[in-house]
Structure 1
Amino acid sequence: MRRLLALALLLLSPASATRLVLLSDFNGAYGEVSYPPALTRTVGRILNDWKPDLVVSAGDLVAGQKASLTDTQVRAMWAAFERDVRGPLARAGIPFAFTLGNHDAGLAQDRREAARYWQAHPPALRYVDHSAFPFRSSFTFGELFFAVLDAAGPNVDAAQRRWLAAQLATPQARAARFRLVLGHLPLSGVSAGKNRPGEVLREAGALREVMERGQVTAYVSGHHAAFFPGRLGKLNVLASGGIGGRDYVGFPGTARSTVTVLDVDGDRLRLTLYDADTGREVPLSTLPARVSGLGGTLERVGDLR
């Protein structure tokens, strides 16, 4: 009888919520084939403490974007990424979803080698559109729909915006509780060191309009290496931070390496921010209330809905 009761309680209990880890901008100096110690510690926490269902990255996985690097050097950087990041996660059964950054796909050589690596190591995801992988794709993961933009540079053109609108109109996107768009460059400046033309998306207003119409939960970006959950117009924007952070626009001395845990909690994505150097939680209330960069003012939000 006790065994039957335990089985009934197990069947009636809700399924475990989905957990994601957001980890971006962890490349080293140009051509570097090792990673900062904070990344090694963070991968250890992912594997041993947080144990997410999926790791998501807004790019800059390797240290390319230098014309003098040879194919052999670029391949060595991807081998280091395989050794230190993707490989350990894969062995633990944790897929790695990503958009490519300017250091991963900023030059023709980088794009060729990124395609070579990822075509050999495709993430085990449920794709909706895989035709332009690894530069652009869409997929579902539990209650989430992801559209991945090719935003390694500042131009997301009309063709990509049409593609995104079409993806957000698919039955898979409409059925998802959360719709996330992943791109490397942000819609608006977040960090002081990157708050200039060429470091944020051009025609950001047109892209934001597509996401607002498609009822996107958040646009998730990298590049500025300063974590900030904000609101721009009617859209949530999540600047994902990075290993080796930068100061916020208007707030000198605020640089911090960060990694974020996102938990599906009913109708919200709950954000928990950690200092990647110390491992300590960073309350969101300690972040600036607003950040005013090129492209508009971001008003801080809490969890994403």
Structure 2
Amino acid sequence: MEIRNLYQPFELELLKINNYENREHKNTFFEMVFVLEGEGIQMINNHKLPYASNKLFLIFPQDIHGFEVSSTTSFFFLRFNDSYLKTQPKEWIQKLELIFNNHNHLPGCILKNVSDKALIRALVEGLIRENSNQQFQQQEVIKQLINTIIIIASRNILLIPPTVSDKSKTDYSVQLLSYIHQNIYDPNQLKSERIAKQFNVSPSYISEFFKNHIGQSLQDYITSYKIKLIETKLRYTDMQINEIVYELGFSDSSHLNRLFKKYKGISPSEFKKNIEK
């Protein structure tokens, strides 16, 4: 089964598909899916339920899910990981944790307040417009819209009866990836022996868990996450290569250049020039 990872705090995607079956897969991040138009079937953890326009679905890390599309469908995907939640105020995080831990991990729209469907649709359409236009303070506006959607989803989840389920593997995956995201700037903290000690398990268990539940080796995940950070810094900051080398713990600029070119096909300087063009 395919396992999908997210190498940045959040990601937005608008996808329009027709008569397509999206194979079941697992994520290592949270995902909200809003249906702008279309009909089909949502599948999650061996359960199925029809979907239609103005439905909002919440998918947790390690949930097995997919969609069967029966008519042309426009999906809007809002993906975010634990590192995004950690940037929010402490009280906000605690409230989300309480609410999310009571979710039943079953298919179906999480919007129980009918009036919230129109509100979520307006926010999603606003996100689509904002994301497609390079305007002043674009990222700040996008984050505010994302936070509003998450809060509205949270108050609706409170209306859903909780169920008891075994979330040990899901919780462990979130904790493990959260540790990596928080320590990405300290290479010593990212060694398998150090991570194993932090979680009181053996290094071999860490390696096996990553391959089975994250879909990559530990080192490949760390490298992919660093590449995405480099890309973000080149795109949105004026940092020089030698500054990024120092911040992310590379041995030298040659090491960073080789790695970036291997994953992106071009050097960091070429990537920066393309952005400026």
TM bracket, shorter-chain basis: 0.3 to 0.5
What's the TM-score once normalised by structure 2's chain length? 0.35
Instruction: Determine which structure has the larger strand proportion and give its number.
Output: 1
Rg larger for: 2
What's the TM-score once normalised by structure 1's chain length? 0.33
